[in-house]
Amino acid sequence: MKKDKVMDLFVGYLREKVLQITKQREEIFRCFLSTDTHLSVEELYSLVRKKDPKVGQTTVFRTLKLLCEADIAKEVDFGGRVKRYEVKYGHKHHDHLVCTKCGEFIEAVDERIEELQDKLCKKFGFIPF
């Protein structure tokens, strides 16, 4: 299974930054990886609380930040004011088409668009995200 490898990546990141591998961080990590959706912090917090009601929301915020830094999670902006996060590890880059009315979305990639975007970015000194 892939999960062990991601866990290794997380553990590696924490070691590198001399941070501790705590119960809370492990639980949040597990809950996050157990989904394949685009979670808000609140939604992840709910999941975590089902497993351990004592984990604080603040820690969820903080751990998601760590997961992003470790390239395991990726912040995705769906236009609203709530940040959402998806699993990045093991998932190819993709774009989102989001309905501005109802929030419905789909994931899609067009290689030609990506290529042209890369060129456009390079031309202006930006690095595609």
What residues line the site for DNA (CB under 7 A)? 18-25, 40-42, 54-59, 61-63, 81-83
Partner touching 42 among DNA, its own copies, Zn ion, none, CB below 5 to 8 Å by kind: DNA
Binders of Mn ion: how many residues, by CB under 5 A? 1
User: What is the C-alpha to C-alpha distance for residues 55 and 45, in angstroms, rounded to an integer?
Assistant: 8
Amino acid (1-letter code) at residue 66: L
Binding site for its own copies (CB under 8 A): 77, 79, 81, 97, 99-100, 106, 108, 110, 112-113, 116-117, 120-121, 124, 126, 129
Among 29, 31, 33, 86, binds Zn ion (CB under 5 A): 86
Least distance (Å) between residue 56 CB and DNA:
2
Amino acid at 35: T
Residues in Cβ contact with 128 at an 8 Å cutoff, skipping those fewer than 6 apart: 114, 117, 118, 121
CB of 32 to DNA, least distance (A): 14
The residue count for the chain? 129
Order across the sheet with 73-76: list the strands.
39-40, 84-87, 73-76
Strand ranges in the chain using DSSP code E only, listed in sequence order: 39-40, 73-76, 84-87, 95-98, 105-108
Q: Which does 86 bind (CB under 5 to 8 A by kind): Zn ion, its own copies, Mn ion, none?
A: Zn ion
Q: Is residue 75 at the binding interface for Mn ion, with CB under 5 A as the rule?
A: no
